[in-house]
Structure 1
């Protein structure tokens, strides 16, 4: 169920430096998640499946499975936070929020599309994010394709 956000009149499109700052912060969090997923994968392979230590990661199937787990864990992280409140932890630090054009929280479908296009944007040497510099509304490829907006929130009043 989508919820309506507040402060809609006092938000503005997020510039590239803020987005990059939040991405770096979230990148550190995703790295920690990936470390935990990798450790769990190693433990399951070693003690659950019974693969010897020398054979872990020796087959393409094991490598593929770990890569899928890493992509799914990062996707789950972003989808959970974007749908829940429009912000990841890095976005909270930089006062950014993802929302629909109407100011609502985004759906799971929008979050999944946004995540898929984010992977493509990064694979294209970040071009999807550099696009913010050329778009009149400061939208990145994930914003455009998913029908969302990334906005800056005003500083909280004391």
Structure 2
């Protein structure tokens, strides 16, 4: 179930620099997840399927299954955070949040669309994210196609001394 975020008047569209910072942070986390799943895949291939070490990653089925596993693992990471609170760990560090245009958490389908178009945006030499520089609302291709937007959250207010 989608929930509405509060203080929508206090947020503004995120620029390219903040987004890239969050992407780099999240990339380290995704690589760590990929290392874990690659190890699990290797254990499965070697010990459950009984394939000898010299035959690991030789067949197309092994290569494709690993690639699919890594693709799904990364999607699961992003979808989990985006649909729950709108922020991955990297986005939290940079005070970014993904939300619907109306200020709600995004759906699983919107997460899937964002994820797929993000890969396309990067594959197009980053053009999908450079689009932010030319869009009046600072939207990237994943934002436009999925009907979402990435906003900057204000700094938390410090407690005033009493």
Tell me the secondary structure at the aligned position of residue 57 of structure 2.
coil
TM-score with structure 2 setting the length:
0.96
Deviation track 1:41-68 (CA, whole Å, cap 9, x = no partner) reads 0000001110011111011111111001
Runs of 4+ in 1 over 3 A off after TM superposition: none
Provide the rounded CA distance (Å) in 2 between the counterparts of 1:122 and 1:75: 15
RMSD, aligned α-carbons? 0.5
After superposition, residues 1-158 of structure 1 pair within 5 angstroms as: 1-158=1-158
Tell me the secondary structure at the aligned position of residue 4 of structure 1.
coil
Aligned-residue offset at 1:149: 0.6
Return 59-68 or 32-41, whichever deviates more.
Answer: 59-68
Return 137-146 or 60-69, whichever deviates more.
Answer: 60-69
Tell me the secondary structure at the aligned position of residue 130 of structure 2.
helix
Aligned-residue offset at 1:17: 0.2
Provide the rounded CA distance (Å) in 2 between the counterparts of 1:26 and 1:107: 20
| Unpaired stretches in structure 2, ≥5 consecutive residues | none
TM-score with structure 1 setting the length:
0.99
Provide the rounded CA distance (Å) in 1 between the counterparts of 2:122 and 2:37: 22
Provide the rounded CA distance (Å) in 1 between the counterparts of 2:59 and 2:111: 33
| Unpaired stretches in structure 1, ≥5 consecutive residues | none
Provide the rounded CA distance (Å) in 1 between the counterparts of 2:157 and 2:50: 57
Aligned-residue offset at 1:6: 1.2
Provide the rounded CA distance (Å) in 2 between the counterparts of 1:66 and 1:125: 24
